Amino acid sequence: FDTNNVPVPDIFPDDLSSTILDAPFRSINDYEYLIGQDPDNATVYIELSLIYSLIGDYNNALKNLSRAALIDPLNPEVQLLSAKNRIWKGDAVEGLRAYERLLQIDPSQVNVWAEAGKVAAWIGKYRDSIQFYRAGSREFPDELNLIVNLGITYLWDNQADQAEVMFDTAARIAFE
């Protein structure tokens, strides 16, 4: 069967048998070599942290993210990856602090407000979750994701009256 003559959408490579990726990861040794060549390149540390995250080595991922943060302390990607790796490692409290640092640097990412709120709620830190959702809602007042999840968190925290207010608000926005 000749896969090269099969009509496929433009997003697919021309040669479907090709296994080359557009932006493949390098090996850990390659990244260590690149760091040796240019130790002030935060991007290399970030990419290496992604490799370590993929293989479940969150300690080494966090070490490389810490190095990247020393080079570029206001890089939002470093803070986001730090938050995620801390949570994956099992240190949810420090992960939430990393979300807070990120949102102080860059409050313009609605998905990060939602993610932080959800993580806090999932681990039973409802007050923190509510704070993330409220703060995110101040930045994005008509964002249904934040409003509905705030309502759900209020329910989980036994605040049914507040939940009802959020659900009514969400319905008003959705049906206007």
Q: What is the pLDDT of residues 8-40, one digit of tens each?
A: 556 555 665 655 555 578 889 999 999 999 999
Give the pLDDT confidence score for residue 133 in this predicted structure: 97
pTM of the model: 0.76
Residue that the structure tokens 């989980």 belong to: 156
Q: Are 143 and 110 in contact (CB under 8 A)?
A: yes
How far apart are the C-alpha atoms of 37 and 90, rounded to whole Å? Answer: 33
The two tokens of residue 127 are: 């007050």
Question: Which residue shows structure tokens 């040794």?
Answer: 29
pLDDT tens readout for residues 95-142: 999 999 999 989 999 999 999 999 999 999 999 999 999 999 999 999
